[in-house]
Amino acid sequence: MNSRRDFLQKLTASATLIPFLQSDAFAVSGIKGQVYDGPVLRVAIMGLGYYAGRVANAMRNCKKAKLVGVISGTPSKITAWRAKYDIPEKNCYNYETFDAIKNNPDIDAVYIITPNGLHKDEAIRVAKAGKHVISEKPMALNAAEGEEMIAACKAAGVKLLVGYRMHFEPKTLEIIRMRKDGEFGKVLFFQGLSGFTIGDPTQWRLNKTLSGGGSIMDIGIYSVNGARYMIGEDPIWVTAQETKTDHVKFKEGIDETIQFQLGFPSGAVASCLSTYSMNNLDKFFLDAEKGWAEMQPSTGYGPIQGRTFKGELKFPHVEHQTIQMDEMSDIILHGKSPIVPVDGEEALKDLKIIDAIYLAASTGKKVDLKL
């Protein structure tokens, strides 16, 4: 397994995906008989790597969002994407010229899918160009950078959203509904396991300048965020322990494995693991007074598998990024409030927790949180 994408794909490779229509008619009309004729969010993608391609392919089936532009430092990628996705030449930019999107009325938002260390500066430039910002997670390298992004977007009067695709996933939302409706009773405990064996030691995820850290900044953020939406509270303290077995591959500042614990106002606790050196780790477990819920895989590209004390959760699988981009269109264009937030303030909480996890791991002390 060489990367997170392999990890996310292989965990769910044996599941059967529901096929999607690829026609333009489906992109405009959605389910047969349900025609959408409202405004469409016109999106440019910045950074044309693997995950960007996954988002672009999923957007073929969106009803309310459309890929209309690209930003890349690699001319050959721009050429290939123009042909594949029928993107006008006037909507193509490189990293030196993309400030010119300010004068392009055909682009509403830019989805930043570049290494973590580039998010802040790119988001600020997009905001100053007057376009809405969608950033991949983690939103930035740390909470201080996240606050700069939020301030820049507020000053420019644009929205800042973050690619929390699981916030729209049906089985995840069903567990959240059950918890809100009191079906589990008082929540007592959450366990989050997020990990895989990372490959290429020269990749950007193992470069602190670009990644901001190691496993916790990549795969571990799923457990950080998942603990919050599964329990339904924000933590008030954190403790953490780091384990490193390969000091060559995982250099100073690049965490290999971190175990962390979170405490919540209700008394609920979370115990989580983030790692770059173990496979088969993609599991959430919630325990409560009246019942329990389990998801495995819990955050892979899908299908997600979930069950509770009442039985298996059964919902048709739809590509996560298709749902995400349609929902983000409603948030940006119609002011819709999602069940679980995906805005900059939501992402800032995760960054504050991650900052505290690193501090707790380095000092061996419990760190209080004020989110």
Among candidate residues 93, 111, 222, 276, the one labeled active-site is: 222
Instruction: Please say whether the beta carbons of 295 and 172 come within 8 A.
Output: yes
Structural tokens at position 88: 């006008």
CA angle 229, 220, 261 (to 5 degrees): 70
Told to judge if 222 belongs to the known catalytic residues of this protein, a careful annotator would answer yes
Backbone angles phi, psi at 264, to 5 degrees: -120, 160
The distance from CA 98 to its chain's CA centroid, rounded to whole angstroms, is: 24
What is the C-alpha to C-alpha distance for residues 318 and 315, in angstroms, rounded to an integer? 9
Cα 2 from chain centroid? 20
Q: How many CA atoms lie within 13 A of 363 on its CB side?
A: 11
Phi then psi for residue 200, to 5 deg, are: -35, 110
Per annotation, catalytic residue among 64, 137, 159, 283:
137
* Residue 137 a catalytic site member: yes
Q: Is 330 exposed, middle or buried (0-12, 13-18, 19+ CB in 10 A)?
A: middle
| Residues annotated as part of the active site | 137, 222
